[in-house]
């Protein structure tokens, strides 16, 4: 039955789902301590514990990055204890603080002790759901009927229908007004922006290094790709080098071939010369050794 329902469900195109993943990654990249580093320093690498102090659950002044994250979606706000505290303060001003109180009570029932499930379920019903309850919540009749029937045999998830109804009510109605309210704007203005620390690290040798924000692997990968691109741009074309070597080897081969032909065919060459200054040995032939035999051969062929 489950598999049949799963097959009948509408599916999403892969392009749409991948686009959602990319959008989520880009939105949360600045809040990822591994990808973008963390300020004032990484407590897993250094001895500085200021990061834990600034990000305590109910710190008086949270960091600016933490408060900005509440605006990503309602889940980020309600998951953060400090965010819930600020949101509860806003709901009390709107006289709807019982909604968040009921949601927190359902979470305590869901993740609390098994031995206290029945007792907690009855207490939640009397406080939030019973007619004339002190902190009565407004849910539709169908959800109320499902909840009341389930309370006859209480278990951890007996209030899931009512909890989901209240959650969606806060998400669609109260959350948008909270982000525009002075409560959130004041919290954002008073938020702390930690600076990079310069405190000495551990005395261990492998820990002795400057305390800086963790470098992003994405940036490192980009730097490596740029370095490879520069090396590729400066690479010499091997075909040009080989063509130059071929031309040089051919010239060297022609040179030795001409020298071998001249030395075997002519031997030494007799050259006539006249002494213009004295005029005494005008008809005497002087035997001279030819230094460049291929030049004489080339002249003979030309004549």
Q: Give 255-259 contacts, CB < 8 A, sequence gap 24+.
A: 258/294, 258/297, 259/293, 259/294
What pLDDT score does 290 carry?
Answer: 45
pLDDT of 287 above 50: no
- Site of tokens 């989520």: 24
The DSSP 8-state label assigned to residue 285 in this structure reads E
For domain 62-189, give the CATH number.
Answer: 1.10.167.10
Q: What is the mean pLDDT of the chain?
A: 77
Which pTM value belongs to this model?
0.59
pLDDT in tens, 5-37: 777 777 778 888 888 888 888 888 877 777 777
pLDDT in tens, 206-216: 444 444 455 55
pLDDT of 87 above 50: yes
Average pLDDT over residues 96-106: 94
pLDDT in tens, 166-202: 999 999 999 999 999 999 999 999 988 887 765 444 4
Sequence spans of domains, the chain:
62-189, 238-302
What pLDDT score does 117 carry?
Answer: 93
CA distances from 155 to 34, 106, 115, 125, 286 (A): 40, 11, 10, 13, 128
What pLDDT score does 275 carry?
Answer: 44
Average pLDDT over residues 144-164: 93
pLDDT of 133 above 60: yes
What pLDDT score does 237 carry?
Answer: 59
């Amino acid at each position: 039955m489950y598999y049949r329902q799963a097959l009948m469900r509408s599916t999403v195109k892969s392009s749409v789902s991948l686009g959602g993943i990319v959008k989520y990654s880009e939105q949360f990249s600045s809040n990822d301590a591994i990808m973008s580093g963390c300020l004032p320093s990484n407590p897993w690498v250094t001895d500085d514990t200021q990061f834990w102090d600034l990000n305590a659950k109910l710190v008086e002044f949270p960091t600016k990055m933490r408060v900005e994250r509440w605006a990503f979606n309602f889940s980020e706000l309600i998951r953060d204890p400090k965010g819930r505290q600020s949101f509860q303060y806003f709901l009390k001003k709107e006289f709807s603080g019982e909604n968040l109180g009921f949601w927190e009570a359902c979470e305590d029932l869901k993740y609390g002790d098994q031995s206290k499930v029945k007792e907690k379920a009855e207490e939640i019903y009397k406080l939030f759901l019973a007619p004339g309850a002190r902190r009565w919540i407004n849910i539709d009749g169908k959800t109320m009927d499902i909840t009341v029937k389930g309370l006859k045999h209480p278990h951890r998830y007996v209030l899931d229908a009512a909890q989901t109804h209240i959650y969606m009510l806060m998400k669609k109605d109260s959350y948008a007004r909270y982000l525009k309210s002075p409560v959130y704007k004041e919290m954002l203005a008073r938020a702390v922006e930690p600076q990079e620390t310069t405190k000495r690290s551990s005395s261990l040798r492998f820990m002795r290094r400057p305390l800086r924000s963790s470098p992003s692997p994405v940036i490192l990968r980009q730097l490596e790709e740029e370095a490879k691109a520069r090396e590729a741009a400066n690479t010499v074309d091997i075909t040009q080098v080989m063509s130059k070597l071929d031309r040089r080897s051919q010239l060297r081969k022609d040179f030795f071939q001409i020298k071998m032909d001249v030395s075997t065919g002519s031997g030494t060459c007799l050259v006539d010369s006249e002494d213009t200054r004295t005029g005494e040995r005008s008809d005497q032939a002087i035997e001279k050794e030819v230094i460049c035999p291929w030049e004489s051969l080339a002249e003979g062929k030309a004549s």
